[in-house]
Amino acid sequence: MTTTGSPALDARAIRAEFPMFVAPRPDGRPLHYLDSAATSQKPQVVLDAMNAYYRETNANVHRGVYEMAAEATDRFEFGRTAAARLINHPREALVLTKNATEAINLVAWAWGARELREGDEIVVTEMEHHSNIVPWQIVASMTGAKVLFAPVTPQGEVELDALRALIGPCTRMVAAVHVSNVLGTINPVREIVEMAHQAGALTMIDATQSVPHMPVDATSIGSDFLVFTGHKMLGPTGIGALAASPERLNAMEPFLGGGEMISDVTTEGSTWAEIPWKFEAGTPPIAEAVGLGAAVEYLEALGMDRVREHERATAELMINALGEVPGLTILGPTDPDRRGAAVSFTLDAVHPHDIAQFLDSKGVCVRAGHHCAKPLMRVLGTQSTTRASAHVYTTDEDILALQGALIECRSWFGA
């Protein structure tokens, strides 16, 4: 680890550990990557771990007698252990999936499609990513259940009183995002989980944008289900996780059926393996779990408290810097203590696509669009926003480059 002993992260030193920032771009453009909320860059140690797995001990897991297969299993299960440790969750109740979206669908299908009845209600917030809306809509349409949306204020906060009022005796599930991928809002998930549990409903927390950026304690959040995804936390694509209460997992029927997840298969029927394997059908994302384990170790070595402090400081800087751009409006909370460093904004009448395109020519990568949160876009009264988002490798220069490019952009498009 090349970070200094001081409390603050040294983002410049961290960049040196990410191959994406080390090699110059072929056309000489700088790289101010401000799209980490979409996906993060990967440190060399993550690529190394996956390459070493493929070179040294690639074999299918869990059943092989030969040593290389046992070693492959160890490295794979190490990824699970690391991910569970990061969020303070029992490892046997951490199911590895292909992404956060599959993890939510696992619950929607394995639990919802079987258990929901006509008239049952699923409560989500207007701030959810499509991945925490559409699975519920799909199983609702199959079962006759309804999906209700808790309102979000124009300032980008969940209206807790309205949410409380929505939760009632028909509520079977309350699903809420921990940190908004659009606005950066940090939601009071413990409070939301408590509200739901008091009404006897289950809870799903989408921690996709929190786990990469701050200490997250799944045990203290206390939700029945919590999901996150590898590629946003310095890990590879192709892996995500569902952290569930062990009792809940044991009580649930399986989702995907196939190899690995069975105890016995006969022509009459089948019985299931222990958790978590009961929910992992087929050859799992082995190298990806290895990479995720390396990403977790990297984050742990940085220290999640310091990662959060860097995120807070970056959010603060970004909000200040963007505030100085004429014609720019920041959406969502402006208090850096209450948000992550994913910041959405509008710039006069310049369209987000044009902003993102212009910024790209200056080496600044940002996202433009609805950010898979169309219901939230309607609340905000827009079709799309531009979003800049940070991670541990984001420096002050990145933010200043963003600011400068935005000022130029505005005049270029004649706004």
Ligand X SMILES: Cc1ncc(COP(=O)(O)O)c(C=O)c1O
To which H or E segment does residue 22 belong? helix 19-22
Q: Is 197 helix (H, G, I), strand (E, B) or coil?
A: helix
The CA radius of gyration of the chain, in Å to the nearest whole number, is 22
The size of the interface with ligand X (CB under 6 A), counted in residues, is 17
25: Cβ contacts below 8 Å, ≥ 6 apart = 31, 363
The size of the interface with its own copies (CB under 8 A), counted in residues, is 96
Beta bridge partners of 359: none
Neighbours of 305 (CB within 10 A): 11
Per CB under 8 A, does 404 bind another protein?
no
**Taking CB under 8 A as the criterion, which residues in 47-106 touch another protein?**
62-65, 67, 69-70, 73-74
What is the C-alpha separation between 391 and 40, in angstroms, rounded? Answer: 7
- CB 356 to its own copies: min, Å: 4
Give yes or no: 170 in active site.
no
> By the 8 A CB rule, do 399 and 314 touch?
yes
Per CB under 6 A, does 99 bind ligand X?
yes
Residue from the set 93, 94, 100, 204 that interacts with ligand X by CB under 6 A: 100
How far is C-alpha 11 from the geometric centre of its chain's CA atoms?
Answer: 21
Per-residue binding letters, 3-22, with its own copies (x by CB under 8 A): ----------------xx--
Token code pair at residue 8: 């603050």
Closer CB to ligand X, residue 35 or residue 120?
Answer: 35
Token code pair at residue 22: 């080390």
> By the 8 A CB rule, do 119 and 144 touch?
yes
Phi, psi of 245 (to 5 degrees): -70, 140
- CB 86 to ligand X: min, Å: 16
Closer CB to ligand X, residue 100 or residue 307?
Answer: 100
Residue from the set 129, 213, 339, 387 that interacts with ligand X by CB under 6 A: 129
Closer CB to its own copies, residue 220 or residue 283?
Answer: 283
Stretch of 20-28, 203-211, 267-275, 323-331 lying at the interface with ligand X (CB under 6 A): 203-211
Token code pair at residue 284: 């799992």
List residues binding another protein (CB under 8 A): 62-65, 67, 69-70, 73-74, 262-264, 273, 351-354, 357-358, 361, 368-370, 374, 377, 383-384, 413-414
- The residues annotated with a catalytic role in the active site are 372
List residues binding ligand X (CB under 6 A): 99-101, 129, 131, 177, 181, 206, 208-209, 229, 231, 240, 259, 282-283, 372
